[in-house]
Amino acid sequence: MFVITGNRLLDGGVVFLAPALAWVEDIQLARRYESDKNAREVVASLGEVVVSLDIIPVAYDDEGVVQPLRLRERIRVGGPTVNPFEGIHLERSHTGKPS
């Protein structure tokens, strides 16, 4: 089983293609395809609302929840693994001189 995923152009958020050909943030709402060939045909007809389109393999876990099979996709579904602002010093001074 496969779903179609990508990143929204507006903000880079991870999205999944839903049955009504709308983009949603919840993988549980994603349209599921029996083969990657069927998914590729749909991808070919989509407009440029998202970037980095990908067809990913998924499966139901023991509780009937759709889970990506690849680690990369499990991380994308769960959100960032680090605080994007951690360790960034926002009060940097710049003298204009090369260091």
Q: Per residue in 48-86, pLDDT tens?
A: 667 777 888 999 999 999 999 998 888 888 876 666 666
Q: Write down the pLDDT at residue 88.
A: 59
pLDDT over 60 at 95, yes or no: no
Of 92 and 79, more confident: 79
- Whether pTM > 0.95 for this model: the answer is no
Band (97; pLDDT cuts 50, 70, 90): low
Query: What is the Cα–Cα distance from 18 to 31, expressed in whole angstroms?
Result: 5
Residue 99: inside a domain, yes or no? no
- pLDDT surpassing 70 at residue 22: yes
- Domain housing 70: 2-78
- Does residue 89 fall inside a structural domain? no
Q: Is residue 84 part of a domain?
A: no
* In a domain? residue 26: yes
pLDDT score for 85: 63
Beta strands per DSSP E along 1-97: 2-8, 14-17, 23-24, 50-60, 66-68
Query: What is the reported pLDDT for 96?
Result: 55
- Smallest CA-to-CA distance from 46 within 65, 68, 20, 72 is with 20
Domain count, the chain: 1
